[in-house]
A and B are shown apart, each in its own frame.
Chain A
Amino acid sequence: MYSRGADNHTWRKIKSALASGIAFVSALLVIAPLGLVFFHLLVNGAGSVNWDFFTKLPAPVGAVGGGMVNAIVGSLELLVLASVIGIPVGVLGGVYLAEYGSARINSVLRFMGDVLNGIPSITWGVVVYGLVVLRFKGFSAYAGGLALGLIMIPLILRTTEEMILLVPNGYREAALALGVARWKTIVHIVLKTASRGIITGILLALARVGGETAPLLFTAFGNRFWNHSLNQPIAALPLQIFTYAISPYDDWHRQAWAGALVLVTGVFCVNILVRLLTRGRGVSVV
């Protein structure tokens, strides 16, 4: 009887250790793709990331060499355009939710935000195509920037709201007691206090849309040359990677790997920067 009990206990201990082992292996499998992707990016891309890559236009079809300078600059231009739309709307909308909105309005707005966050990014491309590209008869940097900017709005709005809610009420009361107008209190005291968190949210949103390809396919469209007017199609790094990856040319494949390495490095740098900015604070990054 006692020995049976002891056996049973040992067996339960073994089972517990086994379960922990399986869970550990699962965790390894989950992060394995990260390691594998990074490894192959370095192996296949590092050789082609050189001075030419950052300074030259894509070579004509068949010619070896060339770079992606137009795509890198194009991506940055698109991010600026997206910021012009996404940041003011997102930050001020977040202020409304945190400072003014009644519980009822807020629950509706939050719900809409969740709906928007769940929409596939390619849908934004389709919608902006219908709204802008069809209407103005052409792909353009404006259309691409708009698509990215619209994706940024719900992302920035929600983080801004959360960051503002973290500001202690005493700050607001102190300012109001001194006779400062409410809107000045919000702009100068509340937003300033929450600025670090808000900037974090903006950076994460930029990192997210900077890697987006699907909304740009039929808005920004891509361009093998310099973009001379924002009314014209423009190149973007993710688009260029996609075009090169599905092409039949080996040299283009090499360029795609190099572009991917540059893009991923950029995205990871922003994420690490965010981690440093928010050290010790529980900010969800996903």
Chain B
Amino acid sequence: MEIALPPTTAAPVEPRSAASAMAPPSRFGDKAFEWLTLAMAMALVVLVVLISWQLWRGSSLAVQKFGFRFLTTSTWDPVAEQFGALPFIYGTLVSSLIALVIAVPLSIATAAYLTELAPLWIRQPLVSLIEMLAAIPSVILGLWGIFVMVPWLRDYPFPWLKRFFGWTPFFTGPIYGPSMLAGGLIIAIMILPIITSVSREILRSVPNLQREAAYALGATRWEATRIAVLSYAKNGLFGATILGLGRALGETMAVTMVIGNTPQIAASLFKPGYTLASVLANEFTEATTDMYLQALFEIGLVLFGITILVNLLAQLLLRTISTTSATRAVQ
């Protein structure tokens, strides 16, 4: 059997020429792909610049015309083209503050329960339920707020508060239902999940040595939680609170539906209020004149500025304790 050999006339292949015949691997694909992904990642920077630029440009005339008065006066009269945002800023801050007062103790207690005190089998189901609560769209919570929560508040807790705490300026005057207090309560419900889950990540990142030391000294479960865990994590818990504040300030739909939408500054929490986000939601499509639209853009700019500052503070506080899981829960 004869093996077909290549014709002997062909020149023997030299190793060197073979190597040079193989084209050097093209780096074009790699470079192109890297630049493509870089361009996409830069979208983050572009978006931040774009938002700032658009809000600034959209409100420049109003900023020039009203200057600092925009933040310190309370007249909101589109017909006379007089715009002062103080009642909205006040409403945003007060409703968020009410939300924090309600949500922070509940969230931190829940986080402590989930990491330290609860029986093991109950923890995962509870976490799942809290994540479900976070998934409810704002508008649905608002719908529930209008038709279930506000009537209930009007009929039971509000009269009760008025009877026992009516001597303070906060619970006086007629009870309508839609009110600053109702707005604060609905925001509280919206921010419970985020504060709880960030606090939980922070408590989980407390080293076990802390707990062991406390138990070794004979501490009960609660003493160990209080002395070794909660006090150790207090900076992080403060960061979680500020992060919740950032979310609260920007909450829109649910608040708009229950706060009453009346621009006024009143001590009584039974009175309706108005927030920056709500005035945008309600009036943006009705802005008939250029200056009206400019004023609304400036409202957007103020809201953007406040939330950015608050979020920066929160990131800073959470960075210092720097746990990857804590920053991940922030999303």
Contact = CB atoms under 8 A, between A and B. Distances in A.
B297 A126 contact: yes
Given A16-B221, A218-B285, A109 B44 contact: yes
A225 interface: no
A286 B194 contact: yes
Interface of B is mostly: helix
Interface string B235-259: 0000000000011011111000100
Contacts of B231: none
Top 5 closest A-B pairs, CB basis?
A120-B250, A211-B137, A183-B33, A118-B311, A26-B109
Given A16-B222, A126-B284, A268-B132, A284 B331 contact: yes
Interface stretch (B65-73, B80-88, B110-118): B110-118
B91 interface: no
Interface string A201-213: 0000001101111
Among A13, A120, A157, chain B packs the most CB atoms within 10 A around the CB of A120
B106 A123 contact: no
A122 interface: yes
A7 interface: no
17 contacts: A23-B109, A23-B112, A26-B110, A27-B109, A27-B118, A33-B133, A37-B136, A92-B41, A93-B41, A116-B47, A118-B246, A120-B304, A123-B307, A154-B44, A181-B25, A211-B138, A245-B142
A72 to B, nearest CB: 15
A127 B55 contact: yes
Interface in A233-260: 238, 241-242, 245-246, 253, 256-257, 260
Given A100-B34, A118-B311, A155-B331, A241 B143 contact: yes
B304 A34 contact: no
A130 B297 contact: yes
B318 to A, nearest CB: 9
A37 B141 contact: yes
Interface of B: 25, 29-30, 32-34, 36-38, 40-45, 47-48, 50-51, 54-55, 57-58, 105-107, 109-110, 112-114, 117-118, 126, 128-144, 146-148, 189, 192-194, 196-197, 220-223, 225-226, 246-247, 249-253, 257, 277, 280-281, 284-285, 296-297, 300, 303-304, 307-308, 310-312, 314-315, 325, 327-331
A44 B147 CA distance: 10
B110 A30 contact: yes
Contact of B41 (A18, A120, A157, A260): A157
Given A24-B118, A89-B43, A12 B220 contact: yes
Contacts of A207: 135
Interface of A: 12-13, 15-16, 18-20, 22-24, 26-27, 29-31, 33-34, 36-37, 40-41, 44, 88-90, 92-97, 99-101, 108-109, 111-127, 129-131, 150, 153-155, 157-159, 162, 179, 181-184, 186-187, 207-208, 210-214, 217-218, 221, 238, 241-242, 245-246, 253, 256-257, 260, 263-264, 267-268, 271, 275, 284-286
Contact of B40 (A18, A30, A93, A123): A93
A31 B133 contact: yes
A235 to B, nearest CB: 14
Given A34-B129, A97-B41, A186-B33, A131 B223 contact: no
Contact of B300 (A37, A123, A256, A284): A123
Contact of A120 (B25, B142, B251): B251
A127 to B, nearest CB: 5
Contacts of A115: 48, 308, 311-312
A213 B330 contact: no
B117 A23 contact: yes
Contacts of A18: 222
Contact of B140 (A123, A211, A286): A211
Contact of B130 (A22, A31, A126, A221): A31
A30 B117 contact: no
A232 B308 CA distance: 33
Contacts of A116: 44, 47-48
A285 B127 CA distance: 10
Given A182-B30, A217-B281, A112 B109 contact: no
A101 B39 CA distance: 12
A111 B223 CA distance: 37
A37 B77 CA distance: 37
Given A123-B55, A186-B33, A212-B138, 5 more contacts: A23-B109, A31-B129, A131-B54, A181-B29, A214-B138
Given A93-B41, A153-B44, A211-B137, A256 B311 contact: no
B253 A214 contact: yes
A268 B131 CA distance: 10
A242 B220 contact: no
Given A95-B37, A214-B277, A153 B106 contact: no
Contacts of B58: 126, 130
Nearest to A159: B331
A252 to B, nearest CB: 12
Contact of B43 (A93, A108, A159): A93
B146 A245 contact: yes
Given A34-B132, A40-B148, A122 B109 contact: no
A77 B138 CA distance: 21
A121 to B, nearest CB: 7
B114 A242 contact: no
A182 to B, nearest CB: 5
B44 A157 contact: yes
A112 B284 contact: no
Given A118-B311, A284-B197, A30 B107 contact: yes
